[in-house]
Chain A
Amino acid sequence: GAGVSQSPSNKVTEKGKDVELRCDPISGHTALYWYRQRLGQGLEFLIYFQGNSAPDKSGLPSDRFSAERTGESVSTLTIQRTQQEDSAVYLCASSLGSGGNEQFFGPGTRLTVL
């Protein structure tokens, strides 16, 4: 079956512009996660959606970052007024049920802020 998909695969933007990244989870997966991987660093948790519960936004690095999820499907991660330090690979994952289940990752979106 189809895995987690993300778009675009690559995004180059100028400092100060807004960007929107998209994630399509595996069908039927109620949990969805966003992570960030900066060059030479480990993955950092950003935000977690579980069903209709309020999302866990504790990993968002600043108020320039926000994410939405429509029901139990598509999610978008928005970064406003991008900065060069936002350059990273943004990875989305989904899982069945609660966070204790295996997380399946998408291929990521490579964001470069010039």
Chain B
Amino acid sequence: KQEVTQIPAALSVPEGENLVLNCSFTDSAIYNLQWFRQDPGKGLTSLLLIQSSQREQTSGRLNASLDKSSGRSTLYIAASQPGDSATYLCAVLGSSNTGKLIFGQGTTLQVKP
């Protein structure tokens, strides 16, 4: 059974700092991995999707990497801003591609001005 873990559960950094969020998964047979952002009381916003054949994806100040064999992904946020404060979720789709995303518990990020 696939399990997804995110560390740390919470993180507080000063504005301008670069930071890394970690996601690990127990079954390396994945179809893709997706990073989301969730703001309080809101739904999820998709940030980056990495296919199993890819190593990384970039969007603006965000870079996500994937090491499928070791069951790990990282989300790198450069030059953090207070507006980046949110909960970041990673989710994996199994290789059978059934549509079910398995989510981690999330990392709650606070960027202090």
Contact = CB atoms under 8 A, between A and B. Distances in A.
Nearest to A108: B43
B57 to A, nearest CB: 11
Interface residues of A, number: 29
Contact of A42 (B34, B100, B103): B103
* Interface residue SS majority, chain A: strand
Interface in B89-108: 89, 91, 93, 97-106
Chain B interface SS verdict (over half): strand
Nearest to B32: A100
A21 interface: no
Interface residues of B, number: 26
A59 to B, nearest CB: 7
B43 A31 contact: no
A56 B99 CA distance: 9
Given A42-B103, A43-B103, A107-B42, A100 B31 contact: yes
Contacts, number: 67
A98 interface: yes
B44 A105 contact: yes
Contacts of B93: 99-100
B20 interface: no
Nearest to B48: A102
Interface in A35-73: 35, 41-45, 48, 50, 56, 58-59
Interface centre among B36, B42, B100, B104 (most CB of A within 10 A): B100
Nearest to A49: B99
Interface of B: 4, 31-32, 34, 36, 41-46, 49, 51, 89, 91, 93, 97-106
